[in-house]
Amino acid sequence: MLKLSAVIMSLALVSGCSTIVSESSYPVSISSSPSQADFVLVNRDGQQVHTGTTPDTVTLNASSGFFKGETYQLILNKDGYEEKTIEIESTVDGWYFGNILFGGLIGMLIVDPATGAMFKLPEGAEAQLDEKAVDASTVTIAMIDAIPEEQRASLIQVK
C-alpha cells in the first residue's frame, strides 16, 4: 500500500494538469467573408508558418517558448478587397490552474510551461473583407462642352 501511494504521489508531482487534460497545439479554422481569400500566417518571430485559401483549418502551436504564448498575424488578400490583418493570440488555459490541486509546483512551473500546454488558442478566426475604394486615377473629369455630341447620349447622370 505504501508503494502504491508513493507511485501515485510521484506521478502527481511530475505531471502538469494542463499537460494531462489539454494540448499544446490546436486546430484553428480560418474563414473570411467573402470566402476564397488567400492568407498567410506569420508567428511572433516573423516566420511564415502556413499559407492557404479560406475556408481552411490549420494546426498551430499555442506556445512559442517557456512561459511564452504564441501570437500569429493572419494576413488575408483577395482581388478587389483591402488587405486585412487579424491577430490570433494564445491565452492561458484554465486547466493550468488545476496544478494548484493536482500538478503541484512542478506542473505549474516546469511541466506545463515547457510543453506549452499552459496555453490555448481560439477555435477560429474570421475576417470581414472590405471592398477596395474606386481608384481616382481611373476617373476622367471633363466639361460637357468638351464631349462630342454623339457621346453625350451615352452619359449617365450621377446624383
The residue type found at 118 is M
Residue 98 has pLDDT above 70, yes or no: no
In whole angstroms, what is the distance from residue 75 CA to residue 111 CA? 33
End-to-end CA distance of the chain: 90
In a domain, 135, yes or no: yes
Q: How far apart are CA 20 and CA 84, in angstroms?
A: 37
Q: How many folded domains does the chain comprise?
A: 1
Per-chain mean pLDDT for the chain: 77
Show the domain range for 39: 2-152
Torsion of CA 86, 62, 119, 75, to 10 degrees: 0
Q: Is the C-alpha dihedral spanning 85, 90, 94, 95 positive or negative?
A: positive
Residue 64 lies in a domain: yes
Q: How does pLDDT run across 131-157, given as a tens digit for each residue?
A: 988 666 666 777 888 888 888 888 887
